[in-house]
Amino acid sequence: MQNIPGESNLSPQAANSPPLISDATIETFADNVIALSQQVPVLVDFWADWCEPCKQLMPMLEKLVTSLNGKVALVRVNADQNQELCGQLRVQSLPTVMAFWQGQPVDGFQGAMPESQLKAFIAKLLEMAGSSAESPIDQYLDQAETLLEAGENMQAVELLKQILQAEPGNSRAVITFAEASIAMDNADQALQLIDGLDTEALKDKAIAARVAKLRAAMELAEQAEAAGDVDELEAKVAADPMDHQARFDLSLAWQARGENAKAAECLLAIIMRDREWCDDGARVQLLKLFEAEGPGADFTLKYRRRLSSVLFS
């Protein structure tokens, strides 16, 4: 397996190349922005000391620009000290970010935004410039996720360990490692990994959704450990179709076998007979299955429709 270089060695910037992050005034704007944008896309961040959203936005911009290793540059402009320049560029609120390419402003936005939206904004800019926003680390993560999807769990874990050595705390690597841990029946390690994610990482909707899915899967797995025998439970349900507890236990037994569709059918059967049984327990359990499968999964879409049909019939 290939070794992943340390973050500082990923596509290192040449010694004589312009800095990735710099400051500009009205006197240096032509060189630092217009001229540089002939080589790479340039983000210009207009900010001020008193601007709280500016203080949230700038560190994220600096982090993303640094991670792209020369594919895009960031130029910071202190708006209070460069009011004439702000007037020329019609900057009316802070923070304002303008994107320049080939000497011209091509895109921009006002106000702070989540990191996921910043990534999308930069990706769009790089696509226009004929480049890619995917960093080497992202490429290795793509490979690790492909390995995990193929069931090559150990290979995925080894690659993820190298990624985390190069970039400790990478939230996508951490959550993928947790998913690999679940696949290898190591729920304790998965829980430790996701509990270690910082609050900023959980603001990313994609990461938060993956964490919620993992937590639901772990909860369901813990429930399944106490599941009874399918044949015995089916016999109990056949003898008394109103034995909702037996039918609920049967859903857990099917779930333990990985038969979530059969588990869902049991839960829907309870809801059809008694919607409020056990404090709405059957519906709550079905929602856990949806969360574990993921909101876009065929299973979730099918059984959400079935649930809606039952509840609103």
Task: Quote the tokens at residue 240.
Answer: 């008394």
CB 251 within 8 A of CB 285: yes
- 104 φ, ψ (degrees, to nearest 5): -125, 145
269 CB-side CA count, 13 A: 20
Catalytic, 51? Answer: yes
Axis crossing angle, helix 171-183 with helix 187-195, rounded to the nearest 10: 160
How far is it, in rounded angstroms, from Cα 254 to Cα 125?
48
CB 168 within 8 A of CB 135: no
Burial class from Cβ neighbours inside 10 Å (0-12, 13-18, 19+) for residue 154 reads: exposed
Catalytic, 86? Answer: no
- 225 φ, ψ (degrees, to nearest 5): -65, -25
* DSSP string for 33-65: IIIGGGTS-EEEEEE-TT-HHHHHHHHHHHHHH
CB 250 within 8 A of CB 266: yes
Burial class from Cβ neighbours inside 10 Å (0-12, 13-18, 19+) for residue 237 reads: buried
Active-site entry in 51, 86, 266, 278: 51
Task: Quote the tokens at residue 252.
Answer: 């857990």
- Give the active site residues: 51, 54
